[in-house]
């Protein structure tokens, strides 16, 4: 596929922050194109955590990842942003006063401003050394569906928030849940760790999964515990390795943006990247005092889009007014 797509604003990244930016761009009357290398919207949440409850979004005591993404899609739909999925933004040039972004399938997007909401960039799961040959036969690195593990013996590997959340979420569904962590202390939130220890989840610390076994499919794992010469053996229909991810900014590194630690885009208080007309929001950004939460990213998206709107039309007000001041559309119009 080749050709040109033209819009006022290009959003690079269709995760939650990018989707909220698409909504806010519509509020400002901008035509918007959203590009993402993944095949569906929602970014890392849809790819890896669709069933995971999220607790830090204002107004929701807890919301499943897939439900949050669905709500953001519905919110933006009023303004009909164009989605170009399974496409990676690779090159950035200027022509006739516009940005020209080349995608990996030959499509070019012409726009007058950009907001980069690419999360952690391209992410790759850290592998479980003992399980390389078992991927797809019992080993996975995320939980797209909790119900897929109904009635199973599940071993979760890791000590961060994802590992602990998945272990607790699977508990009412799976036959048994075992969590294996190679350290004594957990990296997860203290409240989650307390819940974990108070639950029926079997927690094995100072230990590693060192062997997976079975016939066609996985049916057991071997766990080596520090200080013990005899490994533990546990039944396992599934092993979920939540060992984190390595991230890569990829082609964005060549776009002339200010980078911090070669992993984040440095922005100022307007969310500008230092390239005039290019803004960023969400986990990919960095500045003094930065906190990487979805809720923070939503506010940054609003800042980025409003400043982009003023960049495109300097006579416009930065503050667009409150949504409660808007006249609702009449039914059927």
| Interacting residues of 266 by C-beta distance below 8 A, sequence separation 6+ | 257, 258, 259, 260, 273, 274, 285, 286, 287
20 appears as a binding residue in the annotation: no
Answer yes or no: is 89 a known binding residue: yes
Residue 159 is encoded by which pair of tokens?
Answer: 């000590």
Q: Give every CB contact of residue 310 below 8 A, 6+ residues apart in sequence.
A: 316, 317, 318
How confident is the model at residue 105, as a pLDDT?
Answer: 93
In which residue ranges of the chain is CATH 3.50.50.60 found? 3-123+246-325, 127-243
The whole-angstrom separation of Cα 70 and Cα 26 is 17
Structure token pair of residue 129: 């050394």
Is 264 assigned to a binding site? no
At the top level of CATH, which class does the domain 127-243 belong to? alpha beta
- Please, what's the b/e burial string for 266-298 (b: 16 or more CB within 10 A of its CB; e: otherwise)? bbeeebbbebebbbbbbbbbbeeeeeeebebbb
CA distance 92 to 99: 7
Distances (CA, A) of 310 to 14, 119, 219, 271: 23, 24, 59, 13
Annotated binding residue 49: yes
If we measure between CA atoms, which residue out of 94, 119, 93 comes closest to residue 281?
A: 119
324 is in an annotated binding site: yes
Token pair 């399938």 is found at 105
State residue 51's pLDDT score. Answer: 79
36 is in an annotated binding site: yes
In the prediction, which pLDDT does 44 show?
83
Query: For position 269, what pLDDT does the model report?
Result: 97
What is the C-alpha separation between 279 and 17, in angstroms, rounded?
Answer: 13
178 annotated binding-site participant: no
* CATH 3.50.50.60, applies to 3-123+246-325: yes
CA distances from 142 to 70, 155, 166, 183, 324 (A): 20, 12, 9, 21, 39
Q: Are 52 and 169 in contact (CB under 8 A)?
A: yes
- Judged by phi (left if over 0) then psi (alpha if -120 to 50, else beta), residue 3 lies in left
Question: CA 167 to CA 154: how far, in whole Å?
Answer: 9
pLDDT tens-digit profile, the chain (333 residues): 456 899 999 999 999 999 999 999 999 999 999 999 888 999 888 877 787 788 889 999 999 899 999 999 999 999 999 999 999 999 999 999 899 999 999 999 999 999 999 987 766 788 999 988 899 899 998 887 889 999 999 999 999 988 998 999 999 999 999 999 999 999 998 999 999 999 999 999 999 999 999 998 999 999 999 999 999 999 999 999 999 877 778 899 899 999 998 889 999 999 999 999 999 999 999 999 999 999 999 999 999 999 999 999 999 999 988 887 765 554 444
Specify which residues 246 forms β-bridges with: 124
């Amino acid at each position: 596929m080749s050709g040109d797509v033209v819009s006022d604003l290009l959003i690079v990244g269709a995760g939650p922050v990018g989707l909220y930016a698409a909504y806010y761009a519509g509020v400002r009357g901008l035509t918007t194109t959203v590009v993402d290398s993944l095949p569906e919207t929602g970014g890392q949440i849809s790819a890896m955590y669709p069933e995971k409850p999220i607790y830090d979004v204002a107004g929701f005591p807890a919301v499943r990842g897939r439900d949050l993404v669905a709500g953001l899609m519905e919110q933006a739909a009023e303004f009909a942003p164009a989605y170009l999925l399974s496409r990676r933004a690779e090159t950035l040039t200027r022509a006739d006063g516009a940005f020209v972004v080349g995608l990996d399938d030959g499509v070019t997007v012409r726009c007058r401003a950009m907001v980069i909401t690419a999360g952690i960039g391209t992410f790759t799961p850290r592998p479980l050394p003992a399980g390389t040959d078992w991927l797809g036969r019992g080993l996975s690195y995320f939980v797209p569906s909790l119900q897929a593990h109904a009635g199973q013996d599940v071993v979760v590997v890791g000590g961060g928030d994802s590992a602990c959340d998945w272990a607790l979420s699977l508990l009412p569904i799976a036959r048994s849940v075992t969590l294996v962590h190679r350290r004594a202390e957990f990296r997860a939130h203290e409240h989650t760790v307390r819940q974990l220890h108070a639950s029926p989840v079997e927690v094995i610390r100072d230990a590693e999964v060192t062997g997976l076994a079975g016939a066609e499919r996985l049916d057991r794992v071997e766990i080596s515990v520090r200080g013990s010469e005899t490994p533990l053996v546990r039944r396992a229909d599934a092993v979920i390795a939540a060992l984190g991810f390595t991230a890569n900014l990829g082609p964005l590194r060549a776009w002339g943006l200010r980078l911090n630690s070669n992993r984040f885009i440095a922005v100022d208080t307007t969310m500008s990247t230092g390239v005039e007309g290019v803004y960023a929001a969400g986990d990919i950004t960095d500045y003094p005092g930065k906190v990487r939460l979805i809720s923070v990213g939503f506010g940054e998206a609003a800042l980025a889009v409003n400043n982009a709107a003023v960049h495109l039309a300097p006579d416009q007000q930065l503050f667009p007014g409150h949504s409660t001041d808007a006249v609702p559309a009449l039914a059927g119009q």
